[in-house]
Amino acid sequence: MSFINLKYKPKKSDVVCQYKITPSPNRSLKSVAEAVAGESSIGTWTEVKTMNEKIRKKLSPKIFYINEKEKRIRIAYPLELFELGNLPEVMSSIGGNIFGMKAVRGILWEDISIPKKMLKSFKGPRYGIKGIRKLLKIKSRPLVGTIVKPKVGLNPEQHARVAYQAWVGGCDIVKDDENLTSQSFNEFKKRFLLTNKLRKIAEKKTGERKAYLINCTAETKEMLRRIRFVEEHGGNYIMLDIITLGWAALQTARDYTKLPIHAHRAGHAMFDRNPNHGMSMEVIAQLARMIGVDTLHIGTVVGKMVGEREEVLHIEEEIESEFTPKTKEHLEQKWYGVKPVLGVASGGVYPGLVPKIIELLGIDIVIQAGGGIHGHPKGTEAGAKAMRQAVEASLKKIPLKEYARGKLEKNSAKRVREKPRRAQNSPQALE
């Protein structure tokens, strides 16, 4: 059964996927493309008597693009192949068995174009860029964020104190790191109550709105209990490790809560780091937007994590634009009113990188630094001030060294590797 039809023009209702394929030895790209199309839809390894012409005609995918030089193919799948509103089923179909076939040495799912009817079967972001800006009353600058460091080890009182110092120093957002949930040394409920209490004190002191993104990642029922606790006790944001949590649980969380959802992408490199096998971050980002996260890590280009300039810029375009133009290597995507997601530049960020990040990614971005704030010689508050000043200088197009003159926090204009100060004093001392 052949699925190749190079004259086919995808319908607006088709789900279109692009794959980069490395065939196994003695296999042609066309033969492997046929195997991928069949295995991800109605086919199997041999002819079967149960196949009928009606199924073949209605549900057969079309391989409409083959680039032998770049080893890329594009497949248009009829929408009827999928259960709307069920991302696990979509993933089982498109991203399921094909990665384990002997016919391929490597297969990278590079991109996807999602039709309107499928998009509308998911909720999309509740807030998006405009909603987050309205929530925090920040109109026209990048948001400044931090992650409490060290990742794990602080007790709830120490954690809250570090968060407070970051907020009063100028951070808009403070978040947990990906591996802090509810360990014995820092239990979830106590951490939230203490940190959220200091968030409110910081808001009064600074006159600015602040957000605490507490990590609610857990088994699904426990996740919902934690989200409910945050809602009932005055929280204003949650964080989820969306890859390790799973698509189904993320859908459940989006349907359940009215709070903004920050998506940490911990684990994404298991899928997208190999350039010849897995699933690209572009695909992960689009699926996360379709389900409905409000902020998402996208990389920095200039930070410590892998992520080439073209990739990071394309991810930002896909999650922040209403229309992603088709290029040589990427598919076209229309979002049909699905709210855009606010990208988060994080990973090895410090004040000296801020001008370049804004130059590359614009102002609709969260500039997030962990060690780049807490590693400041004068402590977390000074580090947060330095980050905020770097944003101010960049928007005014003033060189950082010039803007830093006379400011006590200027030492953080260059990368600082000193360990952060140990948090001291109790939250009650701040009241």
Instruction: For residue range 336-347, list pLDDT tens digits in order.
Output: 999 999 999 988
Do the beta carbons of residue 412 and residue 376 sit within 8 Å? Answer: yes
Rounded to a whole number of angstroms, the CA Rg of the chain reads: 23
Domain for residue 190, yes or no?
Answer: yes
Verify that 184 and 60 share a domain, yes or no.
no
Q: Are residues 107 and 159 in the same domain?
A: no
Distance of CA 256 to the CA centre of its chain: 20
DSSP 72-140: EEEEEEPGGGS-TT-HHHHHHHHTTGGGG-TTEEEEEEEEEE--HHHHHTS---SSHHHHHHHHHT--S
Domain boundary among 67, 91, 120: 120
Neighbouring CB atoms inside 10 A of 153's CB total 12
Residues 179 and 105 in one domain: no
Structure-token pair, residue 174: 């403070």
Q: pTM of this prediction?
A: 0.91
Specify the 3-state DSSP secondary structure of 168.
helix
Banded pLDDT at 39 (limits 50, 70, 90): confident
Which is it for the CA torsion 322, 340, 241, 179, positive or negative? positive
Determine the average pLDDT of the residues in 11-19. Answer: 97
pLDDT (mean) for 42-54: 69
Torsion of CA 75, 81, 86, 91, to 10 degrees: -40
| Structure token pair of residue 169 | 């120093």
Look at residue 6 and tell me if it is in a domain.
no
H/E stretch holding 186: none
Kindly state the average pLDDT of the residues 111-134. 97
- Would the pLDDT of 352 be above 90? yes
Report whether pLDDT(424) > 50: no
Same domain, 186 and 282: yes
Report whether pLDDT(50) > 80: no
220, amino acid identity: T
**Strand 15-23 relative to strand 342-346: parallel, antiparallel, unpaired?**
unpaired
Predicted local confidence at residue 417, as pLDDT: 39
Residue from 71, 197, 210, 264 carrying the catalytic annotation? 264
Task: Report whether 304 contacts 269 (CB < 8 A).
Answer: no
The whole-number average pLDDT for the span 146-166 is 97
State the Cα–Cα distance between residues 352 and 414, nearest whole angstrom.
6
Mean pLDDT of the chain: 90
- CB proximity list for 50: less than 8 A, separation 6 or greater: none
Residues 78 and 173 in one domain: no
Residue 8, in any domain of the structure = no
Are 302 and 415 within one domain? yes
Q: Does residue 194 fall inside a structural domain?
A: yes
CB 171 within 8 A of CB 145: yes
C-beta separation of 365 from 358 below 8 A: yes
- Domain encompassing residue 365: 128-422
- pLDDT, tens digit (0-9, with 9 covering 90-100), for 169-178: 999 999 999 9
Strands (E), 266-370: 278-279, 295-297, 323-324, 333-334, 342-346, 365-369
Confidence of residue 41 (pLDDT cuts 50, 70, 90): confident
Q: Give the residue-averaged pLDDT of 94-116.
A: 92
What integer pLDDT is reported at residue 304 of this predicted model?
53
* Residue 7 within a domain: no
- Give the model confidence (pLDDT) of 258-273 as tens digits: 999 999 998 898 888 8
Q: Using the 3D structure, point to which of 120, 144, 170 is the last residue of a domain.
A: 120
Task: With respect to residue 10, please indicate whether it lies within any of the assigned structural domains.
Answer: no
Residues 135 and 234 in one domain: yes
Q: Are residues 279 and 380 in the same domain?
A: yes
CA distances from 274 to 20, 269, 321 (A): 12, 8, 27
Say whether both 390 and 306 belong to one domain. Answer: yes
* For residue 428, pLDDT beyond 70: no
Q: What is the pLDDT of residues 216-231, one digit of tens each?
A: 999 999 999 999 999 9
CATH number of the domain where residue 100 is located: 3.30.70.150
Assigned domain for 429 exists = no
In a domain, 430, yes or no: no
Mean pLDDT, residues 275-299 taken together: 95
pLDDT for residue 418 is more than 50: no
Query: Regarding beta strands 104-113 and 62-67, do their DSSP bridges make them parallel or antiparallel, or are they unpaired?
Result: unpaired
What does residue 92 show for φ and ψ, rounded to 5 degrees? -65, -30
- Interacting residues of 115 by C-beta distance below 8 A, sequence separation 6+: 12, 13, 14, 15, 79
Work out the average pLDDT over 353-362: 94
Per-residue pLDDT at 131 exceeds 80: yes
Q: What is the CATH number of the domain that holds 266?
A: 3.20.20.110
Instruction: Give the integer Cα–Cα distance in Å for 374 and 418.
Output: 9
Do 188 and 223 contact (CB within 8 A), yes or no?
A: no
Is the CB of residue 61 less than 8 Å from the CB of residue 37? yes
Domain count for the chain: 2
Read off the tokens for 294: 């409000």
Peptide bond into 150 cis (omega under 30): yes
Give the 3-state secondary structure percentages of the chain, helix then strand then coil, rounded to 5. Answer: 40, 15, 40
Residue 109 has pLDDT above 80, yes or no: yes
Beta bridge partner(s), residue 20: 72, 108
Query: Considering all CA atoms of the chain, what is the largest pairwise distance in Å, rounded to the nearest integer?
Result: 81
The one catalytic residue among 71, 149, 339, 376: 149
pLDDT of residue 307: 52
Domain stops at, among 70, 95, 120: 120
Is 141 found in the same domain as 82? no
Is residue 264 annotated as a catalytic residue, yes or no? yes
Q: Which two tokens stand for residue 196?
A: 């959220």
The fraction of the chain above a pLDDT of 70, given in percent, is 91
User: What distance in Å separates the CA atoms of residue 59 and residue 401, rounded to the nearest whole number?
Assistant: 62
The reply to whether 257 and 365 lie within a common domain is yes
| Residue 329 pLDDT level (bands cut at 50, 70, 90) | confident
Cα angle 311, 345, 156 (rounded to 5 degrees) comes to: 140
Q: Is 300:307 a contact under the CB 8 Å cutoff?
A: yes
- Same-domain pairing of 57 and 187: no
The model's confidence at residue 58, banded by pLDDT at 50, 70 and 90, is confident
